[in-house]
Amino acid sequence: MKCDEIRKWLSAYADDELTTEQQKLVEQHLKECADCRNRLTEYKAVSQRLGILQAEPSLSNFTRSVMLKIKEPSKKRYAWSVKRSLFVAVPLVIVLAVVGSLFVMKPFVTPEKVMAKAYAATEATKSYRITHSNSVRISGMTTWMNEYSMDIEYASETEYHIKLYSSEGYHPHSEAELIVLGDKIYKQESTSPTTTFTALSSMMQFLLNETINGHLPLYLPSKEATLNELDSLVSVKKLPSEKIDGVKCLHYRANLDMEKYLAESKVKIPQIYGLDPDDPSTHKILQDYEDFWRPQQIIMELWIGEDDYLVRQSITVIQPAPDSNLISSRISRSVSHLFDFNQQIVIQPPLDITGQLLPGWSITER
C-alpha cells in the first residue's frame, strides 16, 4: 500500500482503533517505510501528552514538562496533508486551552468594590423583610441582655409593617405595631398593666412622628439605613465566608466613619423632624446629637451574598470609642437579618369585614 493510504490510518493505529487486518497492513508498511514510522512516533507523542494531562493535572509538573519540551531541539518537520495537520492541530489547541484554564483564577475583588456592588444591589431592591433585635451589656456582665426586637415588612417605600417587641425573660410579646399604607398610618400599642419597658413607648412615638413627616427613622433597620452604612464604612477587613439561609456570603468587619455619618445626619434630622435648619433651636438639637455620637465607636459585621451582593445580615456594636472620656460602660449590640428580597409582600390594613378598625388600633393621615 502507498504512504498516502497508510497515513490515513496512522492516528487510529496509534490509538489502537483499527481492525486486526488493518493493523497487519499498517505494520507491514511500517517495516519498509521510515517516513511513516517517524509520523507514527509523532502521533503517539501527542496521544501520550493528552494521556498525561488527564491522569496528572498537576499545575507545577505539567508546566515543567511543557517548558522542557519547548527547550528541546526542533524535530524534523514533514509536509503533512491538510487533513493530517488538522489532526495534530486540534489536540494541540485542546492542550493549550486546558493549560490556560489551569492558570485561570477568580479575579480578586477589593472590599471597596464589594461595598460598591452591595450599595447598587441594595438601591435596586424593591421589597424585603427584616428581623431585628437589640441587646445591651454593662461592665461586669458576661451575657447580653435583650432590650427589644422588631419584625419589619417592606412592600415598598410607602407601604410597610413594623412590629415592636419588648423582651421579658425568654418570652417576648408584642408591645406596639405600625402599618403604613401610603398616606394612612395605623398604630396599635399594648395597654398591658405589666408593661414597664418605657423605652419602647418612646420609640413608638418617634416612629409615629417621623413617619408622619414622610421619612423613616435613622435608627430603623431599612434600605435607607443600609445604604448609609455602606457609604460610611472604613477599615474594611475580609473575614472567612459563611452561609446565611443557605446562601454563600462574603463576610466583612468594618468601622463606621463617624465624621461622615454625623455630616449626613445633620442634613437628614431637620428633614425627618420638620425642623428649620436655620433656627437656633435646630442648631442646639444637632449639636446635642453630635455630642452624643462623636465619642462612640460603631463596629459592623456584614454578610453579603457572593452572587447577588445583597446584604443578608449585619451586626452592629456601639461602644465608647477608645480615645473618648465617656464614663458609661454600656455596649449596645443589634442584629439585622434580611430576606425575601423582591418578593411580593401584601400588607393589609387592620380592618374588619365591615371596613372598621380592629380594637386597639388608631389611624392617622399625613
The secondary structure of residue 75, as a DSSP letter, is P
More confident residue, 344 or 203: 344
Q: What is the mean pLDDT of the chain?
A: 75
- The tens digit of pLDDT for each residue in 258-275 reads 888 888 778 877 876 677
Task: Write down the H helix ranges in 231-302.
Answer: 258-273, 280-293
The H or E element that residue 319 is part of is: strand 311-320
Half-sphere exposure (CA, 13 Å, Cβ side) for 365?
Answer: 0
Residue 36 dihedral angles phi and psi, to the nearest 5°: -70, -35
The secondary structure of residue 140, as a DSSP letter, is T
pTM reported for the whole predicted model: 0.64
Cα distances (angstroms) measured from residue 160 to each of 131, 155, 222, 228, 363: 13, 6, 10, 20, 15
Which of 56, 65, 55, 50 is CA-nearest to residue 97?
A: 50
- The tens digit of pLDDT for each residue in 104-162 reads 445 567 899 999 999 999 999 999 999 998 888 887 777 788 778 889 999 998 899 99
CB of 129 closer than 8 Å to CB of 154: yes
What does the alpha-carbon distance between residue 18 and residue 25 come to, in Å, rounded to a whole number?
A: 10
Which of 93-97, 185-189, 214-218, 301-305 reaches the highest mean pLDDT? 301-305
CB of 13 closer than 8 Å to CB of 21: no
pLDDT given at position 46: 54
Least confident segment among 72-81, 87-96, 282-291, 297-306: 72-81
The H or E element that residue 51 is part of is: helix 34-55
Q: Where in the chain is the domain with CATH 2.50.20.20?
A: 111-365
Q: What percent of the chain has pLDDT over 90?
A: 28
- The tens digit of pLDDT for each residue in 328-364 reads 678 889 999 999 999 999 999 999 999 999 998 989 8
Cα distances (angstroms) measured from residue 51 to each of 68, 72, 91: 18, 20, 11
Task: Write down the H helix ranges in 125-257.
Answer: 198-212, 223-230
pLDDT given at position 171: 43
Neighbours of 218 (CB within 10 A): 18
Which of 148, 139, 11 is CA-nearest to residue 81?
A: 11
DSSP labels for 141-174? -SS-EEEEEEEEEEEETTEEEEEEEE--TT--EE
What does the alpha-carbon distance between residue 140 and residue 129 come to, in Å, rounded to a whole number?
A: 35
pLDDT given at position 330: 80
Which of 290, 302, 295 is CA-nearest to residue 334?
A: 302
Question: How far apart are the two ends of the chain, measured CA to CA in Å?
Answer: 98
Strand partners, 238: 252
Burial pattern 59-93, b for ≥16 Cβ within 10 A else e, equals eeebeeeeeeeeeeeeeeeeeeeeebeebeeebee
pLDDT given at position 74: 45
More confident residue, 360 or 81: 360
What does the alpha-carbon distance between residue 239 and residue 254 come to, in Å, rounded to a whole number?
A: 10
**Cell numbers standing for residue 31:** 517495516
The class (CATH top level) of 111-365 is mainly beta
Model confidence at 289, pLDDT cuts 50, 70, 90, reads confident
Arithmetic mean of pLDDT, 171-200? 67
